Structure 1
Amino acid sequence: MFKRQRTTILKNNLEKDCILHKHAVILANLGAPESIQDLRPFLKNLFMDPDIVRFPFGKIGQRFFSSMISLLRAPKSARHYELIGGGSPLQKQTEIQAELLRKALQGYGNYKVYTAQRYWHPLFNETANQIWNDSVQKITLVPLYPQYSTTTTQSIINHWRRQPNLPEPQIIWRFYTEGLYLDAVIARIQEALQLFDEKPHLLYTAHSIPVSRIKAGDSYQTEIERHYELLQERLDYRYESTLAWQSKIGPVEWIGPSVKESLQALRKKGVERLLVVPLSFVSENLETLFELDIEYKACALKNGFHQYERAATVQDHPFFIKMLVNLIKEKNND
């Protein structure tokens, strides 16, 4: 009987130790509305973020202006979301990435993979509560932005660190230079190239940010330009190419040239076939499915381009998942 009790105690201690050493991996992204009803509260959360835009009068001003802007922008944004099916696939694609990562990490340690979205569910506090309830001892935070910016990666880091009672995370960022990530993007480019009978011009696009951010020291533009060059190197410069910037909002100066400006300039040069390659995203979203696939495609065809195609984002590509596994293992010495 004593031997049986001792065995039970040892088993319970082992189970407790296993729980204590549970390692959380958080795939964190912007978040997006999954229905039209989600749109206004999503926009309010977005504009409440001081890392995106700072309004006057502190928190009171931030709350007031974010409410007003979300009210004004929601109807126009709703029309755009209706054209892509009524909501964004971002969270569903993040969940697929998380599930594949869970499977790929089996055998390397007691990892549990979570998703968290900055401006829509699952919000950071929701994921943080789940992690706390799971008695996690270590955390690796993965902002799903290939390049660093204060408006994206740093916003994720800042907001996560505001969550109480959790260990300081290890952070994986700036993965646009990783060989496997470049391979995943190239694979998506090569898939899209199969749609052309003649060699296209590659139009690389990146989400723009205000020039004031760059002047304040944000490295995003430099990292986008480096990413663009690395991809062209991997393609042995076989395709003529252009880098353009999308998604400008508001009256302030943003990084350019814009996609529309580039479309006009390329058509004047006689370019007829375009393959668009988005650089800023690992999943599909409004910026790819509406801006690139609908708005800019219509603009291109109106301006006389004969063919306009787009490379998919990396999403669940095996090279991308393998890169995440490698970086997580390296960060935690597994």
Structure 2
Amino acid sequence: MKHAVIVANLGAPSNLSEVRPFLKQLFADPDIFNFPFGKLGQAFFSSMIATLRAPKSKKYYAAIGGGSPLHENTVAQALKLEKMLNEKGDFTVFTAQRYWHPFFEEIAAEVRQGNFDDIILVPMYPHYSTTTTLSIVNEWKRVSGDLPEPIVIERFYAEPGYVKACANQIRATLSKFHKPPHILFSAHSIPVSRVKAGDPYEKEINANMELIMDELRRVYNYSLCYQSKVGPVEWLGPEIQDALDGLVKNKGVTNVLVFPIAFVSEHVETLYELDIQTREYAKKIGIKQFERADTVQDLNEFIAVLKKLILERVAL
């Protein structure tokens, strides 16, 4: 049997000219931002917000080299996954991005030409959320037409191999400290209204954190915060700067290790928000050592988890 695997991620601009159109695609997604007045309102408000936010976002991307490495990271993950899967069967792995090229529609056209027996959709989000995983599933269904219904890998945060990969990235960073640091897990925030409506993201983030600390034998103090809030509505907190303030003022913390628990690739949220913006803030409030652990990217332990989950769901 021939299997198509679609490794799907958020997407990101690769140069500064792509920042505004990327943002427009992002803000037009009704699974995240549900603006009034139907499709016309969605188009109008997404365009307006993208125009307003683009100048600041361009500064962020300029500070990390002019573009995001997210797609490059995703391609590396896909290539390694394809190599591992083809030890067991006939697999072709594609990469698709939700808000920038290659769009799902482009990949659906390629898949349609391949006469595949089944399709496995792998959103590269460890934790299920209506704002990420469901958005990817909905977009694929919108563009896939008569293609077979996809097998969806909805989450993988609790897989032992993934937990170990996260812990190993933290261990590698712990070696930089002379004194035990406070481990601060940072997750991308989502609107509180989504959680109240039943989105499991917050629960899964917390469960993932506890599993990682079990792997690290719980010998470090730790806590959870959120980043990347957008707009005036209430989002999950505490925000990362508030969390750092609390650690310094209430616990006298001077050494902090940040792990981006919701991300499997490097992009502007890690390379700018954490490595530049948050690092500068930490120094300003008196934190003497601030280190950020790498995301899991294409670590063998992580890619092997994806392989396992896919092979469990397909007929070879």
TM-score (structure 2 length as normaliser): 0.98
1:235 matched to 2:216? The reply is yes
Deviation at 1:333, TM superposition (A): 4.4
Question: What residue in structure 2 maps to residue 107 of structure 1?
Answer: 87
Tell me which residue corresponds to 1:145: 125
Q: Distance in 2 between matches of 1:266 and 1:198?
A: 16
Shift of 1:105: 1.2
Corresponding residue of 2:256: 274
List alignment gaps of at least 5 residues for structure 2: none
Matched, 1:157 2:137: yes
Deviation of 1:137 (Å): 2.1
Does 1:31 find its partner at 2:19?
no
Secondary structure of the 1:162 match is: helix
**Counterpart-to-counterpart distance in 2, 1:245 and 1:232:** 18
Deviation at 1:134, TM superposition (A): 1.5
> Which amino acid in 2 is paired with 1:282?
V
Query: Is 1:57 matched with 2:37?
Result: yes
Deviations 1:42-91 (A, max 9, x none): 00110111001111110010001111011100000000000000000000
For residues 189-245 of structure 1, what are the alpha-carbon distances to aligned partners after superposition, in whole Å with 9 as ceiling and x for unaligned? 011111111111100010111111111111111111111111111111100011001
**Equivalent position of 2:100 in the other structure:** 120
Give 1:332 shift: 1.0
Match of 1:42 among 6, 22, 28: 22
CA distance in 2 between partners of 1:106 and 1:209 (Å): 37
Match of 2:273 in 1: 291
Per-residue CA shift, 1:240-270, capped at 9, x if unaligned? 0110011111111111111011110101121
Q: Distance in 2 between matches of 1:84 and 1:219?
A: 32
The match for 2:58 is 78
Q: Which amino acid aligns with 1:220?
A: Y
* 2:298 alignment partner in structure 1: 316
Q: Percent identity?
A: 54
Give 2:211's aligned amino acid: L
Which amino acid counterpart does residue 138 of structure 1 have in structure 2? Answer: D
Runs of 4 or more consecutive aligned structure 1 residues displaced over 6 Å after TM superposition:
none
Task: Provide the rounded CA distance (Å) in 1 between the counterparts of 2:86 and 2:39.
Answer: 44
Unaligned ranges ≥5, structure 1: 1-20
Deviation at 1:110, TM superposition (A): 1.1
How many corresponding residue pairs? 314
Q: Secondary structure at the match of 1:39?
A: helix
In the alignment, structure 1 residue 247 sits paired with structure 2 residue 228: yes
Per-residue deviation, residues 284-310 of structure 1 (Å, max 9, x unmatched):
011100111111110000000110000
Inter-partner Cα distance in structure 1 for 2:200 and 2:25: 25
Residue 179 of structure 2 is aligned with which of 198, 211, 214? 198
Q: Which one of 161, 175, 200 corresponds to residue 180 of structure 1?
A: 161
Q: Distance in 2 between matches of 1:81 and 1:283?
A: 16
The amino acid that maps onto 1:173 is E
Other-structure match for 1:207: 188
TM-score (norm 1): 0.93
1:256-271 aligned within 5 A? 256-268=237-249, 269-271=251-253
The 2-side partners of 1:333 and 1:232 are apart by: 35
Greater C-alpha radius of gyration: 1
| Residue matched to 2:206 | 225
Match of 1:176, SS state, is coil
CA distance in 1, matches of 2:132, 2:299: 22
1:96 and 2:76 correspond: yes
Of 146-155 and 156-165, more deviation after overlay is shown by 156-165
Q: What is the alpha-carbon distance in structure 2 between the residues aligned to residue 246 and residue 47 of structure 1?
A: 17
Match of 1:18 in 2: none
| Counterpart amino acid of residue 318 in structure 1 | N
Structure 1 position 307 matched with structure 2 position 289: yes
Return the alpha-carbon distance in structure 2 between the equivalents of residues 245 and 47 of structure 1: 20
Query: In structure 2, how many angstroms separate the alpha carbons of the residues matched to 1:174 and 1:23?
Result: 20
Q: CA deviation at 1:107?
A: 2.9
In structure 2, C-alpha distance between the alignment counterparts of 1:54 and 1:38, rounded to whole Å: 23
